[in-house]
Amino acid sequence: MAKVPSPQELAKVNYQIPAQDWLHTKPEFRPGTYVNAAQPKWLEMINYPYPRAWSVTDDDWKLPPDWKEIILRGMEERLDRFRSLKLFFDICVRCGACADKCHFYLGTGDPKNMPVLRAELLRSVYRRYFKTAGKLLGELAGARDLDEAVLKEWFYYLHQCTICRRCSVFCPYGIDMAEMTILGRELLSSVGLNIDWTAASVASCYTKGSHIGATPQAFKDMIDFLAEENERITGITCEVPINKKGAEILFITPSGDYFADPGSYTMMGYLLLFKYLDLDYTMSTYAAEGGNFGWFTSHEMGKRLNAKMYEEAKRLKVKWILGGECGHMWRVCNQYMPTFYGEVPTFLEVPKSPITGTVFEHAKVHRMVHISEFTADLIRHNKLKFDVSRNAHIMLTFHDSCNTSRGMGIFEEPRYIINNVLPEGHFFEMPPNTIREKTFCCGASAGLNADEYMETRMKGGFPRANALRYVAEKYGVNHLGCICALDRATLPPLVSYWIPGMEVTGITELVGNALVFPDEIERTTDLRDRPLVGFEEAEEEEEA
C-alpha cells in the first residue's frame, strides 16, 4: 500500500490551475489516489456485465469491443429516464459557486474536482453526441469525442465524489453532482468498470446478507458477543431475538455497527436501550444490512439490496421497521425506498412507539423510523433514566452526516439526545459553515473507504478534520459524534491521521453509557472499557 504523506505535506494544497486546457489533461493513476478494479467473481455473483480481470494502472482496460455504443446508448436511456440528468446537463451556467464547496476539491486542489468541472467531464460527451452545437463546433462548444482516455477520466473523478450533495446546496439551480455521479457510475458499470471495494460489499450483501459477508451464524455470533460484552460491563443480560416471527419491530442497522469498533459500541447501546424498554423486536439474518453500497453503483442495485428490508418485514410479520444510525442508508430509506417498492407496504402498520404511544405520522407510508427519532421521543416522554456523569469524560462535537443532512434533514433529533445524555457544557458545535446542511463529508463515503485509497481519503476529509481541529483546540473536544456507521468506519483513520487522540462515537453509544438500569452492577467504565470519571484510580490499581 502506498505510504500517505504527512499531514503537513497534505495540508499544503496547491490550488494552481494547470496551464493546459482541461479537455486535454489526463489523470495520473498514482497509488493512493484510486480504488482497485473489481475482481470478476463479485460481478458474477450479482450478474453484472463484463466481469474480467483488469487493473486500473494497465493501459488496456479490456473493454468490450462495442463499449462506446453501450455508453452512448446508456446515456440516452438515462436522459429519457431522469429529468434531473437532462436538466443538470443543460442549465449549468458555470458560475463556479460549487467549486470550493467540494471537500475533494478543497483537499486535492485538482480543478476537475470542482463539481462544475467534474460534471463537465460528462457534459462534454453529452454535447458531442446529443447537441447540435457540439456536433458542429466540437471543442469550441466544449464538446469532445468519447475515447478511452475520457472513460478513464470518468472512472478517476466519479470515484472522487462521495455523493454528499454539498455542491447542490449552493448551486443556484440545485444541480446535484451526486445524481450525475450515480448515473455516471452506472454507465461505467455497464461496460464492466467497477471498483473492488463496492463490488465486494454489494456481492457479499446480496448473497450473504451484509456488506461484510457474514453468514447467518456468524452474524448471530457477533451480535451475541456484543450482548455478552454488555453483560460484562453492566450486568444486564440482553438476549437478542433473531429472525423472530411476529415480533412487533424489525430492527435493521448497518453491518458496520456489529462488525468493528467503534461502531460495535453503538450496537451495544442499541441492545441496552431495547433491553431497557423490554422492546418486542427482532433482528434478521436476511435483512442484516442497513447500508446500501448498491446505490453507490446503480439505482437498480440499490433497489435489489433495499428490497430485502420490506421482504423480510413481510416474512417475519412485524408491524414496523426501526432503522439504526446510518447516513446513506437513510438517504435511500427516506428518498427511495417506498418508490423502489412502488406501493404502500400495507403488510406493515403505521409505526407507533409501544412505550410512549407516539404515532410516527411522518412515516405513515414508509413505516420505518429512525433510531434517533425513536429515542428522542422516548426522552421527551421521560421514559429513560440517565446518569449523565457517565459521559463526563466526553467532550463532544457532532458531525452531521451528508446523507442524513442533505437527503433527509435530521438535525435536531440527535442534538436533542446529545443534550440529554451529556453533562451540561460538554457539547460544542463546529463552525457554522461546516455543519448541518453545510456539513463536510468524511471523505470516504459512497464506496470509497478502501485502504488503498488512503491518500485521497485523507485529502477529502481535510475540511472535516480541520473544522474538528478548531473545536478540539478551542474547547478541548475529544469525541466526534455521528449518526452514521460509515462515518464510524471512515472517521477513525481520518482523525487519527489529522488529530491523533480524537475518538469517534455513535450517539446511541452515549445513550447506552448513560442509561440507568434498576438492577445493574456498579459501572466503573463506559461501554469501551474506559474508566468513568471518578474511577480512574480504581482502574489503575486493578492494572497494578
Partner 1 sequence: MTDFLKTRFLVPLVAVLALMGLAYVGVQANLQWVLGVVIPYLALFVFFEGLLFKIIGWARSPVPFRIPTTCAQQQSLPWIERTLADKLDNPTTFFQVLGRMALEVLTFRSLFRNTRTELQKEEKYPEGARLVHWSYKWLWLGAILFHYGFLIVFLRHLRFFLEPVPGFVKLLDAVDGFLVFTTPTMYISGILLLAGASYLLFRRLANPQVRYISLAADYFPLFLILGIAGTGFLLRYLYHTDVNAVKQLAIGLVTFKPVVPPGISSLFYMHLLLVSVLFMYFPFSKLMHMPGVFLSPTRNLASNNRWRLHVNPWNYPVKIHTYMDQENEYREAMVEAGIPVEIQPEAAAEKE
Contact 312, 286 (CB under 8 A): yes
Q: Which of 35, 70, 114, 187 binds partner 1 (CB under 8 A)?
A: 114
User: Counting contacts by CB under 8 A, is residue 308 touching partner 1?
Assistant: yes
User: Counting contacts by CB under 8 A, is residue 11 touching partner 1?
Assistant: yes
> Minimal distance in Å, beta carbon 73 to partner 1?
16
User: Counting contacts by CB under 8 A, is residue 289 touching partner 1?
Assistant: no
Q: Which of 286, 428, 475, 517 binds partner 1 (CB under 8 A)?
A: 286
User: Counting contacts by CB under 8 A, is residue 269 touching partner 1?
Assistant: no
d(CA 180, CA 163) in angstroms, rounded, equals 9
* 113, three cell numbers: 474536482
Q: Which of 35, 106, 471, 491 binds partner 1 (CB under 8 A)?
A: 106
Q: Which is nearer to partner 1, 2 or 133 (CB)?
A: 133
Q: Which of 231, 311, 429, 539 binds partner 1 (CB under 8 A)?
A: 311
* 477, three cell numbers: 473536544
d(CA 522, CA 526) in angstroms, rounded, equals 11
Query: Stretches 35-43, 187-195, 367-375, 480-488: which one binds partner 1 (CB under 8 A)?
Result: 367-375
User: Counting contacts by CB under 8 A, is residue 75 touching partner 1?
Assistant: no
d(CA 71, CA 92) in angstroms, rounded, equals 22
| Residue ranges in 395-435 assigned as alpha helix (H) | 402-406, 412-421
* 100, three cell numbers: 470550493
d(CA 11, CA 465) in angstroms, rounded, equals 11
Query: Stretches 48-56, 131-139, 194-202, 445-453: which one binds partner 1 (CB under 8 A)?
Result: 131-139
User: Counting contacts by CB under 8 A, is residue 346 touching partner 1?
Assistant: no
User: Counting contacts by CB under 8 A, is residue 49 touching partner 1?
Assistant: no
Footprint of partner 1 on 393-412 (CB under 8 A):
405-412
Nearest alpha-carbon partner for 163 in 268, 265, 262, 299: 299
Footprint of partner 1 on 371-390 (CB under 8 A):
373, 376-377, 380
Footprint of partner 1 on 81-100 (CB under 8 A):
81-87, 90-97, 99-100
Q: Which is nearer to partner 1, 60 or 217 (CB)?
A: 217
Contact 514, 388 (CB under 8 A): yes
**Cα radius of gyration (the chain):** 24
* 329, three cell numbers: 442508508
User: Counting contacts by CB under 8 A, is residue 285 touching partner 1?
Assistant: yes
Q: Which of 179, 289, 452, 503 binds partner 1 (CB under 8 A)?
A: 179
Q: Which is nearer to partner 1, 139 or 520 (CB)?
A: 139
Distance set, CA 85 to CA 81, 146, 183, 193, 351 (Å) = 9, 18, 8, 21, 35
- List all residues 6 or more positions away from 387 whose beta carbon is below 8 Å from its beta carbon: 514, 516
Q: Which of 248, 387, 437, 520 binds partner 1 (CB under 8 A)?
A: 437
> Minimal distance in Å, beta carbon 174 to partner 1?
4
Q: Which of 1, 2, 53, 133 binds partner 1 (CB under 8 A)?
A: 133
Q: Which of 52, 68, 152, 244 binds partner 1 (CB under 8 A)?
A: 244
User: Counting contacts by CB under 8 A, is residue 338 touching partner 1?
Assistant: yes
Footprint of partner 1 on 502-541 (CB under 8 A):
none
Footprint of partner 1 on 204-243 (CB under 8 A):
206-209, 215-217, 220-221, 242-243
Sign of CA dihedral 130, 131, 137, 138: negative
Footprint of partner 1 on 449-508 (CB under 8 A):
462-463, 466-467, 469-470, 473, 498
Q: Which is nearer to partner 1, 71 or 467 (CB)?
A: 467
Query: Stretches 18-26, 151-159, 384-392, 445-453: which one binds partner 1 (CB under 8 A)?
Result: 18-26
* Preceding omega of 40 cis (within 30 degrees of 0): no
User: Counting contacts by CB under 8 A, is residue 420 touching partner 1?
Assistant: no
Q: Which helix (H) or strand (E) holds 349?
A: none
| Residue ranges in 317-453 assigned as alpha helix (H) | 327-335, 337-341, 371-380, 402-406, 412-421
- List all residues 6 or more positions away from 309 whose beta carbon is below 8 Å from its beta carbon: 250, 252, 287, 321, 333, 337, 368
Nearest alpha-carbon partner for 116 in 140, 88, 138, 139: 88
